[in-house]
Structure 1
Amino acid sequence: MNSTNTPNPVHTLTTTPLTDNLVHGAIDIERTARGLLPHRLPAWARAQNTDGQLTMAESQPSGVRLAFRTRATVVELDTVPTKRVYVGVPPRPDGLYDLLVDGRLAAQGSVSGGDTLTIDMSAGTFEHESGKPGTLRFAGLPDEPKTVEIWLPHNETTELVALRTDAPVEPAAPLGEAGRKVWLHHGSSISHGSDAASPTTTWPALAASLGGVDLINLGFGGGALLDPFTARTLRDTPADMISVKMGINVVNADLMRMRAFTPAVHGFLDTIREGHPTTPLLVVSPILCPIHEETPGPGAPDFSTLASGQLRFMAMGDPAERAQGKLTLVSIREELARIVAQRAADDPHLHYLDGRELYGEADHAELPLPDSLHPDAAAHRRIGERFADLGIGALGGPVSI
């Protein structure tokens, strides 16, 4: 089985119209002049957002995949990816697409070209330049009925332009209708998949695969900030189990003090419960992140490392400011544990997981955070394996490991 960006003229391919029921894991699908653009926040929520970072993150299709039944041996997908270019940083590799056949990874590929988003972190500016579609091609698939999934790059905004195959295509069973529970998750860039190797190896995707559940991933890089529109999105999205991983973005954005944090957490959970009054709900505190354990935010890029082609982050706050209510990961874990214990007295379906059980001091000694903030591919795998047991297992999912 192979993949390439060059169409094969030998095969006669038929175009299948791209429709919503071919796309799994998206909250909303926007019709553009070029095709379909999956979103992980609905249009009404996007209209309430004014943050460019969240706008970028929610349009990056972490956990979003095309899913269909076919006996095709050749699949081609035209897309318009958005390549991110950071001023002063070496070029990023093209985003990866993972091809799964009956749930197993069969091939990977990338699409070159597309749009370009140039980001100057020191100036805080974004510049967008339009480009042309590219073609992803997979060949040599087994000539038999099968379920095909194409997981879109978790870190690359992707417009879907055209799907071509050498055999008819029909949509796969919708989420929640194939005997598997739907797991709805919200978190930060770590949940989004920052520094994971590919879309099916972000820790939520790994946990879902190992745990035998279907994932809807609302992990937003830099965007787990207790926004009311995110809570309402979770409230309105059908799910059999829900987890919310909160804390790191609140610290590194230096967004609020403890006085605001506590009622914001209660309000976030109250809103989710309006739509999911008895759904198993897990609150997950931050994994270990030494720069912010005892030091408040804001967090900031260490621009002195850019010359070597490496981006690292550092904490800019003063540990003494915790007395005035500035937040650290230590204080957030303490408060989240207290809030969940208080609420669980009247909500038996609410649970708490200390993020250090997923990645703690021993893990950091073995698999340190390369940029001082995000886990690498090996750490994503470890977190995913542990969450399949400690998270999905606790929520009542059919863990298969």
Structure 2
Amino acid sequence: MNPAKRGASRLFIAILISFFGCNTEKPGKQGDTDKKYSIYAMMKDGKEYISQVDSIASGTLDPSEGAKVAPAPLYYDLIVRDGHYYRVDWKTGRFIKIAIINNVFTEEASLQLDGFKNLENYNWISADTILLIGCDATMQKVRFAKVHVKEMQAVQGSVPIPSPFGTFNSMSVGFSKLENDRLLIGYTYHTTHALKGYTTSDTVYTEVLHYPDMRSVGRMKDIRSAYPGGINTNQSHDFTDEKGDFYFIACPGIALGNNPDKPTAIFRIKKGQGQIDPEYFFNISASPIRNHGYGLWYIGNGKAIVRTERKGLFTGMKDHYRVPHMDFFVLDLASKSTTRLNLPLDKGTARQCVLVENGLVYITVNSDAEGSYVWIYNPKSNELRKGLKFEGDVDYILRLERLN
């Protein structure tokens, strides 16, 4: 599961649940859109499958009995909602709506996006409308598309964010936050060189736009960290809490920004303020974690989970995705304290691996030594227990998401 910045491919596996004997998840008619959860797995032979199941709290599942993803890989591309899967085909610029029908990954509809090749960020702005933000094929200009997914119609246009300048030759969008008539977009610039490799600006940029006309009304810079957020089809990098305050993680580690002298950190934008809070900065790298991190998930009541590297267990990007070295920490956003969850070391650079529901936190962990499970964490009691077990030659559980 090499963490290429833009993954390409997906497929989904639907599994009907039988309650026989040991409560093993059995394959049935694929494409029942009333199933609750979607699970995307890669087996050790490299094949990828998607399962649709009703329970992740117990039982067993062999992902290879699910719907085979073809063409694969698509694990970094998917948007899952209401029994459907959506993605932007980076080769053609098409926005595609997909369902699993009779165990076949089936394209139901598509829409051509103008000058839009790389999806960087998305937000559901209503039940049936999604706001896509991405770059053109040159990674020099930012585009948007507001798509009504039932009618598959879109309003498209450009976003007035400055193109790369000086030594920078590409850019990326790491978060987007819509609040009434104001849209905030976090972004940064990159230098890619055939010999010197890839790195990122030492500045977090935030564009403030009037919505829906996409007129720029402000631009902010913050040098406390680098590479704000990340591609949110890969995994979560931001959230809005119960107060309406917005938090995002900046990821300068080698797997995203590759500006590792900067700290991994969490920023805040208070509700209604429209700017990064200069008084708030949660320095993850300077905390007892002492490492870089990449994913961020809110679990409620002022707490979040961050997924972090473990120094000394990997040598670089060539084995970053392959070697188990990732920890999960619970963060107290107010006190800035950290607590490691007693989970096996995880592998995979970027994964959609945390799901919060009814006060419980479901976490998929890929452990070569201890097996692959959905672990269940209760934040109130701090209890951890095993839920759904993955059987067969599982290599990675790449995505766990609510399907309906």
- Verify same fold: TM over 0.5: no
- The structure where helix makes up a greater share of residues is 1
Question: Which structure shows the higher strand fraction?
Answer: 2
RCO (CA 8 Å, sep 6+): is it higher in 1 or 2? 1
Taking structure 2 as the reference length, the TM-score comes to 0.29
